[in-house]
Amino acid sequence: DTGLAAEWRDQVGHELARGLRRHIGADQPLEPVPA
């Protein structure tokens, strides 16, 4: 997958990851914590 579609997906991924980190706290791991 190349071109604008790949760039768009990458940008969306970065935005989601940044939002998630902001939501849970920058010091928290992004991986799910084992129960």
Domain count for the chain, please give it. 1
In a domain, 33, yes or no: no
Domain enclosing residue 2, as ranges: 1-25
Q: Can you tell me the distance from the alpha carbon of 19 to that of 2, in angstroms, rounded to the nearest whole number? A: 25
In a domain, 20, yes or no: yes
| pTM of this prediction exceeds 0.85 | no
Question: For every one of its 35 residues, what pLDDT tens digit does the chain have, with 9 covering 90 and above?
Answer: 568 888 999 899 888 888 887 777 656 666 776 76
Q: Can you tell me the distance from the alpha carbon of 20 to that of 26, in angstroms, rounded to the nearest whole number? A: 9
Nearest-CA neighbor of 20 among 32, 30, 12, 10?
Answer: 30
CB neighbours (10 Å) of residue 13?
10
In a domain, 11, yes or no: yes
Determine contact, residues 33/25, Cβ cutoff 8 Å.
no
Determine contact, residues 20/30, Cβ cutoff 8 Å.
yes
In a domain, 12, yes or no: yes
In a domain, 35, yes or no: no
